[in-house]
C-alpha cells in the first residue's frame, strides 16, 4: 500500500443521529446525542459530517436538524471553530444545474445557517451518467456565489474523480474532498492505484467513512451481545476471519493503553485520511479523541496493511461507488 502523507485529524459522523433502519434511532436518544456533540467539541473534534438523507420519513433531515440545534446552542467562539459538512443525495428527481437549489436551502435551514462543505453524496456515473455533471455545476455555482466555502464528492473511484476534478478545476472550483469507505476491512482506496494516490496528486482531502466497519473493528467478540439487525448479521459473518487482525490490533492498543477504535482510526490517519467515525455516546468521543495523542509506527502500519490485505472477507462495497 502507498506510504502515508502526514497525519490527519478525526471528525465525527452522524448517520446514526436520525437513521432508524440500521442504527435504531429514536428521539429519546437526543439528550445523549447532544452530550456526545458537546463532548466532541470539548475534545477538539470540530468536523461533523451529516447528510440530507440521514433520517427519512417522519425523521426527515433529522441528523442535520439535530446538528444545527446543537451547534446553535454553543457559544459563538466555539461555533466558529466548527466545520459542518453535509451531503446532498442525487435523488432521481434532482435534475439539472438548479437541481440541488431547494435541497441546499433546506439543509442550510436545518443546519441553522451553517454549511462549510457541501458534498455530492454518491456518484450516479454507473446508472444515470447524465445526472451528475449538472448537479456538480450547481454546487460549484453555490461556491462561487459565496453560499458555501467548498464542495466535495463521495463514492468516486480514481477515473471518475480525475474527470470531475478536471471539469471543476477549469471553472476554478475544484473538489476539495473525497469521501469513500476506508477501513482495515475496506482498504482498497489506499492500495497502489487506489483513489488515495489521485487525492494526493490533485490536493484533494481524503475522508474515510465507516472507518470502524460499522463498529466491528472497535469491539472484540467477547464484548457482549452483537447489535440487532443487519449490523449483527454482518458482524457474525465477518468476525471469524478477523482473529489475527484483531489480535494485532489488541496488541497495539495494549501497548498504547488505547482502544481498538483508536487503532482503527489511526490506521486511516497513517494513510493520510481523515476518519469520521460514527459516534453517539460521550465515551466513544473520548476514545476517538484519545487516538490523536499518538500515531502508528511505520512498522505497525505495515503489519496492519498486510493483515488487512490478506483477508478474504471485507465490508460490502457501496453499490453507488463509481470506478
Ligand atoms: N458518504 C457515504 O456514502 C457514507 C456512507 C456511510 C457513512 N458515512 C459517514 O461516515 C460516518 C461513519 O461511518 P459509520 O457510522 O457508517 O460507521 P463507523 O464509523 O465505521 O462505525 C460507527 C459505530 O461504531 C461504534 N463505535 C464507535 N466508537 C466506538 C468505540 N470507541 N468503541 C466501540 N464501538 C464504537 C458505534 O456503534 P454503537 O453506537 O452501536 O456502539 C458507532 O455507531 C457516518 O456517520 C457518516 O457520517 C458516509
Instruction: Please measure the distance between the N-terminal and C-terminal CA atoms of the chain and give it in whole angstroms.
Output: 19
> CATH 1.10.150.250: does it fit domain 12-310?
no
Index of the ligand 1 atom closest to the CA of residue 87? 1
Question: What's the confidence (pLDDT) of residue 9?
Answer: 94
Rounded distance from Cα 180 to ligand 1 centre (Å)? 13
Contact of 179 with 154, CB cutoff 8 Å: yes
pLDDT tens digits, one per residue of 243-253: 999 999 999 99
What value does the CA radius of gyration of the chain take, rounded to a whole number of Å? Answer: 19
- Residue 192 confidence (pLDDT) above 90: yes
Sign of the dihedral defined by the CA atoms of residues 270, 276, 277, 281, in that order: positive
Question: What's the confidence (pLDDT) of residue 223?
Answer: 87
Which residues are CB-contacts of 257 (< 8 A; sequence separation ≥ 6)?
A: none
Mean pLDDT of 176-183: 98
Mean pLDDT of 183-201: 97
Question: What's the confidence (pLDDT) of residue 297?
Answer: 98
Rounded distance from Cα 181 to ligand 1 centre (Å)? 11
Q: Which of 209, 223, 227, 273 to mutate to test the pocket of ligand 1 (most atoms within 8 A of CB)?
A: 209
Rounded distance from Cα 315 to ligand 1 centre (Å)? 13
What phi and psi values does residue 287 have, to the nearest 5 degrees?
-70, -35
Sign of the dihedral defined by the CA atoms of residues 151, 154, 156, 158, in that order: positive
Rounded distance from Cα 300 to ligand 1 centre (Å)? 23
At residue 179, the 3 state secondary structure works out as strand
Place of cell 473493528: 217
Q: Which of 43, 212, 262, 282 to mutate to test the pocket of ligand 1 (most atoms within 8 A of CB)?
A: 212
Question: What's the confidence (pLDDT) of residue 6?
Answer: 39
pLDDT tens digits, one per residue of 261-276: 999 999 999 999 999 9
- Residue 1 confidence (pLDDT) above 50: no
Residues with CB under 6 A from ligand 1: 13-16, 49, 87, 121-122, 154-155, 179, 209-215, 218-219, 227, 259, 261, 276-280, 284, 287, 318
Q: Please count the other Cβ atoms lying within 10 Å of the Cβ belonging to residue 71.
A: 19
Mean pLDDT of 232-248: 95
Model confidence at 179, in pLDDT bands (50, 70, 90)?
Answer: very high
Model confidence at 316, in pLDDT bands (50, 70, 90)?
Answer: very high
- Interatomic CA distance for residues 76 and 267, integer angstroms: 34
Task: List the domain boundaries for the chain.
Answer: 12-310
pTM of the model: 0.97
Question: What's the confidence (pLDDT) of residue 221?
Answer: 77
Active-site residue flag, 54: yes
Residue located nearest, by CA, to atom 32 of ligand 1: 218
Contact of 8 with 274, CB cutoff 8 Å: yes
Model confidence at 8, in pLDDT bands (50, 70, 90)?
Answer: confident
- Residue 195 confidence (pLDDT) above 80: yes
Mean pLDDT of 202-213: 98
Question: What's the confidence (pLDDT) of residue 16?
Answer: 98
Question: What's the confidence (pLDDT) of residue 224?
Answer: 85
Residue located nearest, by CA, to atom 28 of ligand 1: 284
Rounded distance from Cα 130 to ligand 1 centre (Å)? 32
- On the CB side of 3, CA atoms within 13 Å amount to 3
Q: Which of 1-10, 67-76, 134-143, 255-264 has the lowest mean pLDDT?
A: 1-10
27 phi-psi bin (left φ>0, alpha ψ -120 to 50, beta other): alpha
Mean pLDDT of 235-257: 96
What is the residue-averaged pLDDT of the chain? 95
Residue located nearest, by CA, to atom 36 of ligand 1: 215
- Residue 166 confidence (pLDDT) above 90: yes
Amino acid at each position: 500500500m502507498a506510504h502515508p502523507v502526514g497525519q490527519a485529524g478525526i471528525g465525527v459522523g452522524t448517520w446514526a443521529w436520525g437513521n432508524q433502519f440500521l442504527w435504531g434511532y429514536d428521539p429519546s436518544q437526543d439528550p445523549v446525542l447532544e452530550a456526545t456533540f458537546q463532548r466532541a467539541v470539548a475534545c477538539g473534534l470540530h468536523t461533523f459530517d451529516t447528510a440530507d438523507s440521514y433520517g427519512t420519513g417522519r425523521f426527515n433531515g433529522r441528523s442535520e436538524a439535530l446538528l444545527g440545534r446543537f451547534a446553535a446552542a454553543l457559544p459563538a467562539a466555539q461555533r466558529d471553530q466548527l466545520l459542518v459538512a453535509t451531503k446532498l443525495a442525487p435523488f432521481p428527481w434532482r435534475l439539472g444545474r438548479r437541481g440541488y437549489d431547494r435541497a441546499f436551502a433546506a439543509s442550510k435551514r436545518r443546519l441553522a445557517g451553517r454549511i462549510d462543505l457541501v458534498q455530492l453524496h454518491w456518484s450516479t456515473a454507473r446508472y444515470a451518467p447524465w445526472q451528475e455533471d449538472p448537479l456538480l455545476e450547481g454546487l460549484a455555482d453555490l461556491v462561487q456565489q459565496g453560499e458555501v466555502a467548498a464542495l466535495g464528492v463521495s463514492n468516486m473511484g480514481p477515473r471518475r474523480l480525475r474527470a470531475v476534478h478536471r471539469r471543476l478545476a477549469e471553472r476554478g472550483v475544484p473538489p476539495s474532498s473525497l469521501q469513500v469507505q476506508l477501513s482495515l476491512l475496506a482498504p482498497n482506496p489506499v492500495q497502489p492505484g487506489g483513489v488515495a494516490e489521485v487525492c494526493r496528486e490533485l490536493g484533494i482531502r481524503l475522508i474515510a467513512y465507516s472507518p470502524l466497519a460499522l463498529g466491528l473493528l472497535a469491539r472484540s467478540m467477547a464484548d457482549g451481545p452483537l447489535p440487532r439487525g443487519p449490523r449483527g448479521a454482518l458482524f457474525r459473518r465477518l468476525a471469524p476471519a478477523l482473529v489475527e487482525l484483531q489480535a494485532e490490533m489488541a496488541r497495539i492498543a495494549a501497548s498504547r493503553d488505547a482502544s481498538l477504535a483508536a487503532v482503527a482510526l489511526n490506521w486511516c490517519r497513517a494513510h493520510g485520511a481523515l476518519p469520521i467515525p460514527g459516534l453517539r455516546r460521550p465515551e466513544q468521543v473520548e476514545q476517538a479523541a484519545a487516538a490523536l495523542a499518538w500515531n502508528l509506527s511505520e512498522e505497525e502500519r505495515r503489519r496492519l496493511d498486510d493483515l488487512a490485505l490478506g483477508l478474504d472477507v471485507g465490508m460490502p462495497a457501496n453499490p453507488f461507488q463509481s470506478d
